[in-house]
Amino acid sequence: MGFTEKQEALVNSSWELFKQNPGNSVLFYTIILEKAPAAKGMFSFLKDTAGVQDSPKLQSHAEKVFGMVRDSAVQLRATGGVVLGDATLGAIHIQKGVVDPHFVVVKEALLKTIKEVSGDKWSEELSTAWEVAYDALAAAIKKAMG
């Protein structure tokens, strides 16, 4: 079954909630580093910090990640697939040393952040919509990584 209109709406509405609070970006990276402390050096905006502090670069990167998943949801609904808008994503992920387990950690952090952001609007259906969109994006990035 394809990505439904309702799934796209669920992702869109929770994406809007995510963007309303810059603290959500801090939460996202805090969860990532709890799961994979060594990943800190992969993010230029975290390399020389004691911990995860709110910064424009951190917020911008988090919004980009969540926005790309949201865009993937839109693409899945429209075409049934995901095409990367940025052809350099594969090379960037290779350069940073990203491997399969990193995609799992980011997915977990993304879902935990969306759960927190969504509050009483959280549901298995919402989780599944984000999971499907993220998995499609991750597959496209991995394909670009060759």
Is 40 annotated to bind a ligand? Reply is no
Whichever domain contains 111, its CATH number is 1.10.490.10
Is 107 annotated to bind a ligand? Reply is no
Is 64 annotated to bind a ligand? Reply is yes
pLDDT digits (tens, 9 = 90+) for 5-50: 999 999 999 999 999 998 999 999 999 999 999 888 899 888 778 7
pTM assigned to the model? 0.94
pLDDT digits (tens, 9 = 90+) for 39-92: 888 998 887 787 788 788 899 999 999 999 999 999 999 999 999 988 899 999
Number of domains observed in the structure of the chain? 1
Is 102 annotated to bind a ligand? Reply is no
Residue 87, domain extent: 5-145
Q: Is the pLDDT of residue 1 over 70?
A: no
The pLDDT of residue 49 is: 81
Kindly tell me the sign of the dihedral angle through the C-alpha atoms of 13, 16, 22, 25: positive
